[in-house]
Amino acid sequence: MNPLDARLLQAHAAGDGAALARLYEEAARQAADAEAGAFYLTHAHIFALEGGLPAAETLCAQLVALGREAPPGPPRPPRR
């Protein structure tokens, strides 16, 4: 097991969503191919969204650029 995998497992065990977002983003950068990179980037985005992290916007933009996410639409008016 490589050190990044070990840190991912530790963050999962601790329930540390912020660390998971950072670590999955790191895994995306180190991925051997585009498919794996997009997989890890998607996980990073999910954990950033769940944690309300500012990185969520950047991660979304990266996924949009890769054609893996639809661009965000205009804000929706509140339901009444």
Give the rounded percent of residues in the chain with a pLDDT score beyond 70. Answer: 100
Spell out the long-range contacts of 58-63 with Cβ–Cβ below 8 A and sequence spacing 24 or more. Answer: 59/21, 59/25, 63/38
Global model pTM greater than 0.95? no
CA atoms of 43 and 14, how far apart (whole Å): 17
Nearest in space to 48 (alpha carbons), one of 19, 77, 9: 19
Q: Tell me: the pLDDT tens digits for 34-58?
A: 999 999 999 999 999 999 999 999 9
The pLDDT assigned to 48 comes to 98
- Residue ranges of the domains in the chain? 3-65
Q: Which residue has the tokens 């983003």?
A: 25
